[in-house]
Structure 1
């Protein structure tokens, strides 16, 4: 039986493949997205949250680094730049904002020694220490999960490949405002910037059982 044709043609969607040293980055999986009354509430965050939990467990079991990101601004949003003008609801992530919307969603919880990177823009790499942290740990493959697929996940994956890392985006461990946005961005990431992988494959790689 012949392989299914590549829907992107021969120019796109080649495989990067796994490297030798993966790390997991959990992107912005905070209450603002997972709670039904949150300012960025997603329609169905449960499956992605559950899969993020399983990836974190696998990474810890295998000794793979786990890094978390959150969005955080100073009181008054002086470090929010034009981003907070474009998306005023980001004010929910100011350090003195009510609601605790920037808190990582339960049952996820960083373990002692796991870095929590505070960022002000979409990419986990923009203006942060993430690239240096991964380089010192010898990481060559970055497993990406979290929210939202079209925003911070996408920006982080495209910046990962620009930093010489192999981005592995776990589609079922990400979520977005609509299924259409989620699916379209996964397809485009898989075509040009990352390998979109299954949860089970990512778990095996992180746990060292692949």
Structure 2
């Protein structure tokens, strides 16, 4: 259900998840409509900067020498099958590259709040009850980060069109799954997110009840558009 939402200045930070070149250049891990997703993330980044909102970036980088997950996929030469530390395509895309006073957190697992991450502690120290979240892939690293943020007691502002995945279906169902359990948070598009960062009031989709979005193959896209 959409309801009016306003977030006070100084009450929200922004998290940019895994906007890396491999999703633009590596044929195995291309994100559909990545250019549009990056453009929207860039708009959100600019809104956060002009409102002095804390900005956090993370990148998935795997060092197999320090990685003990026995089932992690590897290439024949022993390097990680994706996001290997020696792959230049792990670089963050220039459209949303960290600026001055914006820290890049490197992770080797899906969630930005996983073991060894300092992000949760930094957000608590900053006193930010809200966190705007965007990134790739929607159903993987974005979903894991959103779920962990909720467990930490953060209110997540999920910016649906500044997220992306390997296909539209993967992305849209990923957003719907998160929306069903986005307790205390909201789903918006980039325009609404920027207005919220500017201190304005917007109509935002906010979860009510248990699993309200019982989507099917026939209506998933329509329900996604209505968020």
TM-score bracket for the superposition, by shorter chain length: 0.7 to 0.9
2:17 maps to what in 1? 27
Q: Is the 8 A contact 2:7 2:197 kept in 1?
A: no
2:164 maps to what in 1? 175
2:217 maps to what in 1? none
Separation in structure 1 between the aligned mates of residue 84 and residue 158 of structure 2, nearest angstrom: 28
Separation in structure 2 between the aligned mates of residue 64 and residue 80 of structure 1, nearest angstrom: 36
Separation in structure 1 between the aligned mates of residue 176 and residue 20 of structure 2, nearest angstrom: 25
Q: Is the 8 A contact 2:74 2:80 kept in 1?
A: no
- Following superposition, the deviation at residue 38 of structure 1 comes to 4.8
Q: Is the 8 A contact 1:92 1:101 kept in 2?
A: no
- Following superposition, the deviation at residue 40 of structure 1 comes to 1.3
CA deviation vs aligned residue, 1:102-141 (integer Å, no higher than 9, x gap): 1001222211211111111111000200001111111111
Q: Is the 8 A contact 1:38 1:101 kept in 2?
A: no
Q: Normalized against structure 1, the TM-score is what? A: 0.83
Separation in structure 2 between the aligned mates of residue 168 and residue 89 of structure 1, nearest angstrom: 35
Q: Is the 8 A contact 2:73 2:81 kept in 1?
A: no
1:70 maps to what in 2? 59
1:166 maps to what in 2? 155
Separation in structure 1 between the aligned mates of residue 190 and residue 179 of structure 2, nearest angstrom: 15
CA deviation vs aligned residue, 1:21-72 (integer Å, no higher than 9, x gap): 111100000001122x354112321111000000000000001011000012
Q: Is the 8 A contact 1:16 1:195 kept in 2?
A: no
- Following superposition, the deviation at residue 86 of structure 1 comes to 8.3
Query: Closer, same or farther in 2 for the Cα pair 1:108/1:80, shift >3 Å?
Result: farther
Separation in structure 2 between the aligned mates of residue 188 and residue 15 of structure 1, nearest angstrom: 20
- Displaced runs of 4 or more, over 6 A: 86-89
Question: Unaligned regions of 5+ residues in structure 2, if any?
Answer: 202-227
Q: Is the 8 A contact 2:17 2:57 kept in 1?
A: yes
Q: Normalized against structure 2, the TM-score is what? A: 0.77
Question: Unaligned regions of 5+ residues in structure 1, if any?
Answer: 1-5, 7-13
CA deviation vs aligned residue, 1:152-207 (integer Å, no higher than 9, x gap): 11111111110000111111001111111111111111111252211111112223
RMSD: 2.5
